[in-house]
Amino acid sequence: MAWLGVAALLGSYAYLASNPRALHQWLAPYSPSTRNSWWLQTPADVEVLIGKAQAGDQEMVAPTVHANIRELIARLQAKGVRVLISGNVTDGAAGVWDPGVAEVRIKPSAVALGSNILVEILAHESAHVAQSCRAGGLGRNSEPMGIQVFPAERLKDQLNSPLYRGHVPTKVIELEAFTVGTNPPWAIKLLDHYCKG
């Protein structure tokens, strides 16, 4: 009987060694990005997040905004993406999609800007997740989806920020994400279309 335990352990190690994505997901809760972060795991976490965003609302917010926040987080989680509120975000950005660990991280200071900003950030980062799925899966870098976008002139301030300056392929990816960010229900549809998990 003891050999069953050893065989199961060896089988687990063999699976993890042959599937680096599974190993990465297994170790993700212990990654540096998780330190000092709030991992949204339950509906209660999402409701507390919405409460924090509401504290920053300067005007009345349509009920659909909070419904879209709930739905975007639920869809991301269902696709295998961890959603964190974390200071571990690129300087100058409000959020980041990290395909290496399948995480969307949003700065706490961005949450404090209110519900409308939060849902826009979630939709923007969800577009990047869909771009990765289009490129072959959550662990892949973003690739353009070929969707209709706003004229680049409309988003020139964002696209010319130090984050994206001079790198045309990145600007294409970001133009799609900024466009989707203005339409959260579209982000949900893109996630469902490109991320089959």
Query: How does pLDDT run along the chain (197 residues), one tens digit per residue?
Result: 566 666 666 666 666 555 555 544 555 555 555 668 899 999 999 999 999 999 999 999 999 999 999 999 999 999 999 999 999 998 889 999 999 999 999 999 999 999 999 999 999 999 999 999 999 999 999 999 999 988 877 777 777 777 766 677 888 899 999 999 999 999 999 999 999 86
Q: Token pair for residue 185?
A: 């229900």
Q: Which residues of 123-162 are buried (b: 16+ CB within 10 A; e: fewer)?
A: bbbbbbbbbbbbbebbeeebbebeeebeeeeebeebbeee
Among the residues of 136-167, which ranges form H helices?
Answer: 156-159
User: What is the per-residue pLDDT for 23?
Assistant: 47
* 22-68 per-position pLDDT tens digit: 544 555 555 555 668 899 999 999 999 999 999 999 999 999 999 99
Concatenated DSSP letters for 48-96? Answer: HHHHHHHHT-SS---HHHHHHHHHHHHHHHHTT-EEEE-S-S-TT-SEE
- Separation between Cα atoms, residue 117 and residue 68, nearest integer Å: 12
User: What is the per-residue pLDDT for 192?
Assistant: 96
Q: Going by C-beta distance under 8 Å and a sequence separation of 6 or more, which residues neighbour residue 151?
A: none
Task: Specify the pTM.
Answer: 0.82
Q: How far is CA 57 from CA 60, 68, 114, 116, in A?
A: 7, 16, 4, 8
User: What is the per-residue pLDDT for 155?
Assistant: 72
